[in-house]
Amino acid sequence: MSSKIFSQVAELNKNGDTTICFSVSQAKFLAKEHYRADAYFKSDSICKVQSKEKDLIISMYKKIESKLQTTMSNQITLLKLKQSEIDVLQETVNVRDKQLKRQKLYKYVSIISGAVLSGYLGFKYVTK
């Protein structure tokens, strides 16, 4: 007994078993397709592994980027604080410079006025 399904032959042997028969060209074609499909499956599994690795690496780089952004914002905040500290110290230096100049001026004025007063009093004392 023989029936044709999809261009292969199904035969029933003496023991009652069914055997599917192909022509040699069909067998070669099916073997090539089997090896090609096997190669595609292997390639697909490699691609899936690579895709998982890529996703893992991307997530790792995103975490690193996030940490670097946090570090950078902390550094910017620290820089602003240091700049404000520098401004306060610069203002203090300016105030102290003005005070020092004022003290020097008062010192010279007092020395000159003391010398003039001493000279005048000495002159008055001598001329009496």
* pLDDT at site 45: 94
The answer to whether residue 8 scores a pLDDT higher than 80 is: no
Taking the model in full, what pTM does it have?
Answer: 0.51
Report residue 1's pLDDT band, with 50, 70 and 90 as the boundaries.
very low
Cα 7 to Cα 21, 25, 34, 98: the distances in Å are 9, 12, 18, 108
Q: With contact defined as beta carbons under 8 Å apart, do 11 and 18 qualify?
A: yes
109, two tokens:
């004025």
Report residue 23's pLDDT band, with 50, 70 and 90 as the boundaries.
confident
pLDDT (average), residues 81-89: 97
* pLDDT at site 7: 60
* pLDDT at site 21: 76
More confident: 110 or 25: 110
- 2: β partners: 11
Cα 106 to Cα 42, 81, 96, 109: the distances in Å are 95, 38, 15, 5
* pLDDT at site 2: 43
The answer to whether residue 48 scores a pLDDT higher than 80 is: yes
* pLDDT at site 78: 97
